[in-house]
Structure 1
Amino acid sequence: MSRNSIARYFILAPVFIGMILGAFVFFHGCKGVKKDQTKEDGYAGSESCKECHERFYKLWEPSHHGKAMQPITPEFISENLPKLKDWTPVEDGSFRIINQDGKLIFQEKKKDGVVTNYEAVHAMGGKNIYYFMTELERGKLQTLPLAYDINKNEWYNAQDSGMRHFGGDSGVQDEALPWKHYLYTFNTTCHDCHVSQMTKNYDLKTDSYHLTWKEAGINCEACHGPSKEHIRLCREAEAKGEEVTELGLISWRTFTHEQSDATCSACHAKMSPLTAKFIPGEKFYDHYNLVTLEDIDYYPDGRDLGENYTYTSWSQSPCVQAGADMDCVTCHTSSGRYRFQDKDFNNACMPCHKDKVENITAHTHHPAEGAAGKCVSCHMPKTDFARMKRSDHSMRPPMPRASMEFGSPNACNICHTDKSNEWADKAVRRWHKDDYQAETIMVGRWIREAREDDWKNFSKMERWIRKNPKKEIFINSLVRMMNGCDNPKKWDLFNYLFETNPSALVRSSAVTQMSYDRSNPKTKELLVKALDDSLRLVRRMATSALTSYPLDSFNASDREKVRENMVEYENSMVIRPDDWVAHYNLGNFYSQQGQHQKALDEYKISNKLFEDAVVPLVNGGYTSAVLGNYAEAETMLKKALTLEPDNEAANLNYALLLGEQGRTNEARKCYEKVLKANPESGVAAFNLAVIYGQNDLENAIKYSKIAFESGVQNPKYGYTYAFYLLQNGSKKSAIKVLKEVVKIDPNYLDAWVFLGQLYEQEKQYSNAIKACESALKIENLPARASQGLQQKIGALKRHK
């Protein structure tokens, strides 16, 4: 076998569902930002509400919603901030803060002694922390690395609190993000949730911004819509002495629980956007995709590890799943205050849990007075992340066993810090004879196993999923991680969930997983059916999967439906044009459509926006190779390997590129790196087998066996393995392998011919004839091949 037998294809790195998330709530304001008063769009500002709604205005104005962002003024500095005299280590230097003529100046001193001043122009927060922002080049608003802890009355290095979690088995330590990382940039991250009616005015060519917004903070119109028409209608009615019959704005009084939750969760969710604009009252899954426990920023039992913004936890609540008469504003006012803070604090749980509220001591085994007498202390305990206090909105009871199993927090030991998890577990087991922790522990173990690609308990998972359709977060998490599951029953499960599950989130993930069953002729039909789903998220995931099918493969009516959804899908990819992930995904979309030059352009934009991202370089290198520009492909792949020398996809693509150019020795080294990163890489093992096959039969057999046993259903791998076994004199072993190959792919002509030849050599003429007859059954067999097989059968029968 020659070098020309080396696999002539490259590997696209995976598609990201563009999740530029509110992963760090640290952003707002800019020295040069101006309120946009030039555009008449119906917004009147919060001051206009004060005339008729003064009581609500006075509640809103000083609230954390109203003060989500504040300009830095001399008054703000003197009233809220103590001095910081000492230098604080940050990255490769240090920072200190000075008050310079009423301006808040952050001084950075590098290790070489160079000092740079950054003026803080706005403060975000105020409940637990004040974060400060400065304006960098091209209109970027960046969170400065030092923040002020209101609770502890101290300055601290906020950079160290923004951690990336890589997972215990990843081999990579959790690490802090550099303070100039794009996730700390207001413009690219949590911009919609701290100012109102904002416009980015982003210029992709210059990678620059000119931000405008109507009002700092979350104003009245953020939740009620433009108010000018409302004011006009009310004044006209007043002048006529009539009652107002048409409000002219969004009223929450008619909202369902789902609408209220969706509107709050537009900010209070760890999600990725599907559209450019959400209007209060619309459906969450028409505008967003939600992050669930596939993300290791959650403990396996569903408790928060990183900053996860509530909605994923809220959706785990047994109260929510049971359809309780409650939503966000049951417990919180529109300005964000907790309604039951000072008195009647357990009334939030009435009337559903009246028996427990009225017998709180018996229920809690603690005195009614004090913290332990409050329902939220045990069912919504507060934990810290980045020095911010957040409540567990899953509302589940304390589970010390989960702390023992997964390291997650539990309410018992949050209070009883001097006691062990084991002590707490014994107590709750003594008080509650039913093992209420059991299901959470069981499912948490499955989540942990799924993260490790361990599916030994798939059958148990499947039964549980079918019996518990409303456990959407845990179901969705498991389904999203089933890529590596080799149990064929998963396909029936995905179809069942798509057809029956009430959650659009679950249906969308089922659709995504179904799309990988390309060998099933019904897959495309089911994906087209998903385009009729009532919620955009399901339609979007189906469209994403359908992009890999040629448009001319659909019938006329389906083709038009697919085309319409693809246009919306393509447009949605860049609703955040400054998001490198969006351009990366758009590049993948164009690549699947065969528009390789447009794909390459998007990969280059993606890399320009975030130079440390490896995947745009990998796919850009792949696409350059497809276009025949090997020099550019090599440049991009070598840059990717400079960033991540052991990256599997980069090494694999570079090895394939080197192989195409005849640089076999260099290619071999890259393939060996691939196998080190992924010992089951069939592509790398196959190509190593071909390379070694020229002069090292032992290694050729070794690597072709790895390729064949890699789990990749590629009959060529088995054919090659059989070839080298025969070269080594192991004819019987070669026959055995070829018999497995034709089971994998009965239409693989070369394997049938090879098998027939080996049977003939062994003088097993009957078996040789059967192999040739099986080959004749292949659909659309070329006439020349058919004629040759028939002649061979005739010759074999004469021998027989």
Structure 2
Amino acid sequence: MDIKQTKKLIRILALVLVLLFPALMVLRFVLLKPDVELVDTTPRFVGAQNCKECHLNEYNDWKGSHHERAMDVANDSTVLGDFSDKTLEAQGHTYRMFRKEGKFFVLSDGEDGQMHDYEVKYVFGYTPLQQYLVEFDRGRLQTLPITWNTLDKVWYHMADSTYKDQVIDANNWLHWTNQAQNWNGMCAECHSTNLVKGYDAEKDSYHTTWSEINVSCEACHGPGSNHVQWAELPAYSREGFENFGLEVKTSNIDNAEYVNLCMRCHSRKSSLSDMDYSAKSIYDHSRVVLPDEPSWYVDGQIKDEDYVYASFMQSKMYQRGVKCNDCHNVHSGERLFDGNRLCLQCHQKDVYDTYSHHHHKSAGMPGKAVISESGVKFDVGSGTECINCHMHGRYYMGVDYRRDHSFRIPRPDLSIKNGTPNACNQCHVDQTNQWSDKYITEWFGSRRRFHYSQAFAAAKDGKTEAASELKEIAGNDLYPPNIRSLALQDLGAYYPDTMAGVVDNYLVNLDPSLRLVAMASLQQGTPENISRLIDGLTDDTKAVRTEAAANLLRIGSDQVPEKNKSSFNKALEEYKEVLLYSADFPTGKINMANFYYHQSQFAKAEQYYKAALEQDGEMYFVNLNLAYLYNQTRRNDLAEKHFRIYLEHQPDDAGATYALGLVLSELGRYDESLAVLLKASKIDPNYPRVNHNIAMLYDFMKDKSKAESYLLKEVDAVQDLNSRLELLQFYLTNSNMAKATTLGDEILKLYPDNEDVKQLMARLRGQS
């Protein structure tokens, strides 16, 4: 082919390509059409069966797991307990478990304290215990106290194991028919998928829904509809989907992000809303409880149920990047390996799996088993297992043995100082902490590293040196994140002056937990604090925004400048939504009442205070809130009633006693008022204004000598200008010019630059 022919062919091919270009574009559009014209890209829950086809191995791992069997409808295949007309004597009642017409029933004490037959609608869990749910009015599901021990195959009463030495009757908040055992608010969000609590505060009722009754694939991965669409597209058409079409990212993430995936259910926290899978931070839907007393020991060891997260965050494992799936199959929940092999994935066998490290006999060697403080039998050889020294456990719910995931080194020396447990004495219960500490010293030397619990314990004991230690811990990112937050919280609680000097550093910290603690510390309505709180109204996370709004509301919404009203109102509405979400609990109702009280919506505040008391009559302190509300609204007969109810429980509360005295004075019952105020003064002689008001009553009753003596007590107690001026006014009113002049000279010496004092003294000298 010559050059002319070649050029001609090129021109022809070019023309053909130009002519074909629109057709190729149309073809490309057709091929990409599913990527461009998705009918609905709103993520929806599609169910585990839609995951099974592509993820069969993961599905099979999940089947039979705690997650898969977290909750189910009660039937012959799911109910494990023996309902063949069995009885149990507990809590002063005879409970009966039986079947009728193919259904499962329990004869139990009910809301009225009388025995009734209750049908079991759902089962909860499967090992080491199984609980049973009963339907009540207003959409409630309640957890029966009669529980099946699946290991020993016996019935037991949950209260006998959890609330030992207490008789839980129908009036007690802990009774199974009351809120403490309510499934909708206490349990549901972590036992079902796509749980919407659906609480209506006005009707005090639930419309709780789920997409799957158990903890399924989408409980962790989020709604999967877009992922299913992604999977059904040809590979070349998937570019429009981020993260495979999944709402939650579970791969190529660091350990903090990974652990936070499990945090929602495996942590002790309060929920701000139903689960928001699109949230960028856990603090958009939760407030995590810090590992503090009384739910933890002062060193962060487990005490009450903590659900792992706060413990694991304290560990060196977490700080070194270890994730849940490094030890657990996240679909089955089981450990990857048995015994020490699990730990030897990272730790050197010839260093740690040796007698020179663990100092315990191996299995088969002569010796005696020990029974731990929890009642667990540890046979000879158990001491060589890593978890028995570094992950000691406790029983919860009677038979559920859970291990502490903080992976700590046994420290009997801290047990001696702070009364905290240690693994040595938790097994060797017949020995002292000193005995254990002696062996630790022999084996590993006498050097002990500083532990953060030493600062926390010192702060609680009021030691001044703890302030600098807490400040160091909070500012040092080598400490675990939640321990830094706890140190900052204690700094604010015990050393507010030190906290004031560092708070600005933490209000802009990248960690929302530290920002939240710093924001919560801003209780005083200073101009600086108001400015800081206003900045917090636009924080990235809901927990911090709503905390800022809450503090501003308490300080006074009138302190918010007009230019910031919009952001304040937006955050305040968000705060209200958070409060309404938890208003099914007595504490939630109290928070709602406080919300309305601070906005002078006293009728709504009264409604919620009363509802809280009705739900839990043992929350007697709510009577104090009601008493102040009634006094504020000039209903002092009711104020007196509720002050007295409160003081029956707290007779040594000087503030409440003082307030009752003022109410009686407002009612014109001056003799009674004086008696109550004198009692308040006896409880706390330095309580602000109590001596002043006693003096005013004596003055009213013409007992000038006692009036003067109590005004002098007020000066001694508070040592401020106002109390001295009140005493001066008393002298002037009673024409005691000599004492007035003497006191006036003292005041002028104390406040030489005060212009009001100078003018007062000039007038006083003019009169004399």
Q: Tell which deviates more after alignment, 499-508 or 56-65.
A: 499-508
How high is the TM-score relative to the length of structure 1?
Answer: 0.76
Deviates more, 1:261-270 or 1:245-254: 245-254
- 1:641–1:647 CA contact under 8 A, matched in 2: yes
Give 1:540 deviation, angstroms: 2.9
Runs of 5+ consecutive residues of structure 2 not aligned to the other structure: 1-41, 167-171, 364-380
Give runs of aligned pairs for residues 119-518 of structure 1, distance below 5 A.
119-163=119-163, 177-237=174-234, 247-249=244-246, 250-279=248-277, 282-320=280-318, 323-335=319-331, 337-342=333-338, 345-348=340-343, 350-351=345-346, 353-354=347-348, 360-366=354-360, 370-386=381-397, 387-436=399-448, 439=451, 442-443=454-455, 445-446=457-458, 448-449=460-461, 454-459=462-467, 461-462=469-470, 464-465=472-473, 468-469=476-477, 470-477=479-486, 479-480=488-489, 485=494, 489-495=497-503, 498=506, 503-516=511-524, 518=525
How far apart are 1:288 and its partner, in Å? 2.0
1:87 maps onto 2:88 in alignment: yes
Report 1:536-547 matches (<5 A).
Answer: 536-547=542-553
Note the C-alpha offset of 1:347: 4.4
Match of 1:723 in 2: 711
Q: Distance in 2 between matches of 1:121 and 1:407?
A: 45
- The CA distance in 2 between the partners of 1:463 and 1:694, in whole Å, is 52
Question: Offset at 1:509?
Answer: 2.3
Alpha-carbon separation, structure 2, partners of 1:754 and 1:679: 21
Asked whether the 8 Å contact 1:403–1:410 carries over to 2, the reply is yes
Deviation of 1:650 (Å):
5.9
Q: TM-score, normalised on structure 2? A: 0.79
Measure, in 2, the Cα distance between the counterparts of 1:432 and 1:47.
54
Instruction: Give 1:102 shift.
Output: 3.9
* Displacement after TM superposition at 1:107 (Å): 1.4
1:774 Cα deviation from its structure 2 partner: 8.0
Q: Relative contact order, CA 8 A, sep 6+: which one is greater?
A: 1
What is the total number of aligned residue pairs between the two structures? 699
Segment drifting more, 179-188 vs 546-555: 546-555
Residues in 2 aligned to 1:564 and 1:606: alpha-carbon distance in whole angstroms? 27
Cα distance in 2 for partners of 1:762, 1:251 equals 78
Paired amino acid for 2:261:
T
Preserved contact between residue 160 and residue 177 of structure 1 (Cα < 8 Å): no
Pairwise CA distance, 1:296? 1.0
Alpha-carbon contact 1:85-1:96 (below 8 Å) kept = yes
Change (3 A) 1:356 1:672: farther
Task: Say if 1:566 and 1:201 are closer, same or farther in 2 by CA, change over 3 A.
Answer: closer
Q: Is the 8 A contact 2:85 2:99 kept in 1?
A: no
SS at match of 2:295: coil
Distance 1:622 1:599 in 2: 11
Whole-angstrom distance in 1 between the partners of 2:473 and 2:687: 31
What is the SS of the residue equivalent to 1:383? strand
CA distance in 1, matches of 2:263, 2:174: 26
Task: Read off the aligned partner of 2:529 and give its amino acid letter.
Answer: T
* Shift in Å, 1:316: 1.8
The RMSD of aligned alpha carbons is 4.2
Q: Deviations over 1:237-291 (max 9, x none)?
A: 37x8989965221340133322222221111111112344332773223332222
Deviations 1:462-491 (A, max 9, x none): 454366453554454455456774x56334
What secondary structure sits across from 2:575 in the alignment? helix
8 A Cα contact 2:88 2:155, kept in partner:
no
Q: Aligned pair in 2 of structure 1 residues 737, 657: CA closer, same or farther (>3 Å)?
A: closer
Please tell me the residue identity of whatever aligns with 2:323: D
Contact 1:68 1:194 in 2 (8 A): yes
Are the aligned partners of 2:292 and 2:300 in contact in 1 as well (CA < 8 Å)?
no
2:173–2:179 Cα contact (<8 Å) kept: no
Deviations 1:24-48 (A, max 9, x none): xxxxxxxxxxxxxxxx972111122
* Deviation (angstroms), 1:636: 4.8
Which amino acid counterpart does residue 364 of structure 1 have in structure 2?
A: H
Cα distance in structure 1, aligned partners of 2:700 and 2:744: 29
What residue ranges of structure 1 are gaps of 5+ in the alignment? 1-39, 167-174, 702-719, 726-733
Deviation string for 1:143-168 (max 9, x for gaps)?
111212233332212113334999xx
CA distance in 2, matches of 1:579, 1:143: 16
Task: Kindly provide the amino acid, as one letter, of the partner of residue 363 in structure 1.
Answer: H
| Residue 763 to residue 206, structure 1, CA distance change in 2 (3 Å) | closer
Tell me the alpha carbon deviations over residues 494-549 of structure 1, each in whole angstroms, 9 at most, x when there is no partner. 52653576643233223322323x4x542323333444544433333232222234
C-alpha distance in 1, partners of 2:389/2:278?
32
2:720 aligned with 1:741? yes
8 A Cα contact 2:744 2:761, kept in partner:
no
**Which amino acid counterpart does residue 326 of structure 1 have in structure 2?**
V
Q: Aligned with 1:76: secondary structure?
A: coil
Alpha-carbon offset, residue 324 of structure 1: 1.3
**Aligned partners of 1:89 and 1:793: how far apart in 2?**
81
CA 1:422–1:464 in 2, change beyond 3 Å: closer, same or farther? same
Equivalent residue number for residue 27 of structure 1: none
CA offset at residue 98 of structure 1? 2.4
- Out of 68, 71, 75, the residue aligned to residue 70 of structure 2 is 68
**Does structure 1 conserve the Cα–Cα contact (< 8 Å) formed by 2:83 and 2:99?**
no
Match of 2:572 in 1: 566
The CA distance in 2 between the partners of 1:558 and 1:244, in whole Å, is 40
C-alpha distance 756-434 of structure 1, shift in aligned 2 (>3 A) = farther
Equivalence for 1:37: none
Moved more, 656-665 or 667-676: 667-676
SS of corresponding position for 1:214:
coil
Q: Provide closer, same or farther for how the CA distance between residues 419 and 776 of structure 1 changes in structure 2, counting only shifts above 3 A.
A: closer
Q: How does 1:773-788 map to 2 (within 5 A)?
A: 778=754
Letter in 1 for 2:513: L
